[in-house]
Amino acid sequence: MPLSDRQLEMYAGARRHEERAESYATKYDRELHKRVSSHFERRAIRRALAITGARSATVLDVPCGAGRITPLLLPVSSRLVSCDYSPAMLRVFRRMHGKPCFVGSAFDLPFADRAFDVVFSARLSHHIESDARRADYLREIMRIAAGWVIVTIFDRNSLKNRLREISRRWSGKRSKHAFARADLERIAREAGFSVAAGLPLSRLASGQVFYVLRRAAA
């Protein structure tokens, strides 16, 4: 399954081997700054799920990784489907959770339109180099959502991103693959969704925002 995006291929390659997948799966427990990030992330996810009002919902988690967020999604799910591009990550997922999961691409999901009450997709957008491919990804996860999409975007106008762009003058770091809220709103509107909420992980320490998208009533 070619991903047609250089940065995304690099990201997928880093998760392709078992030892790297295992390291990625546990780094949020091992590294202090990741543990802090995880605290804020879990708070944002709980708030996002509360906005959807999901109870006994059909939920898709893509990419699910090793299932770090699975314990937050299970209580609101009558059926939770977990999907990831990396077979190695899914082997870790099965070992940790013992639940069904399958290999698949967020750009080409094998589900009918509006197949899930809630589609949850975190920490993938900022690995996509091309704005056009990011739009393809967003349209695909909206296509299969009957009611709600929860998705993270690295906000182009966040303080974190603005500071990074300033520091690049001497740090040599590449720009983040950021996206503007206005562009997300446009893509959502074209797909029949509106932005119900934008929940930043941390206005000071992170550029990641959990957007809650709601499908318009028919």
- Using DSSP's 3-state secondary structure scheme, residue 71 falls into helix
- Say which DSSP state 15 is in: T
Poorest-confidence range of 39-53, 85-99, 130-144, 162-176?
Answer: 162-176
Query: Can you name the CATH fold of 6-215?
Result: Rossmann fold (3.40.50)
Cβ neighbours for 217, distance < 8 A, ≥ 6 positions apart = none
The pLDDT tens digits for 113-153 are: 999 999 999 999 989 988 999 999 999 999 999 999 999 99
Q: Is pLDDT above 80 for 51?
A: yes
% of the chain residues with pLDDT over 90: 57
Q: Where are the domains of the chain?
A: 6-215
> What is the pLDDT, as a whole number, of residue 8?
63
CB-CB neighbours of 131 under 10 Å: 13
**Predicted confidence (pLDDT) at residue 25 exceeds the cutoff of 60:** no
CA-CA distance, 139 to 136, in Å (whole number)? 5
Give yes or no for a contact between 148 and 207, defined as CB atoms under 8 angstroms apart: no
d(CA 81, CA 58) in angstroms, rounded, equals 8
Backbone φ and ψ for 105, nearest 5 degrees, come out as: -105, 135
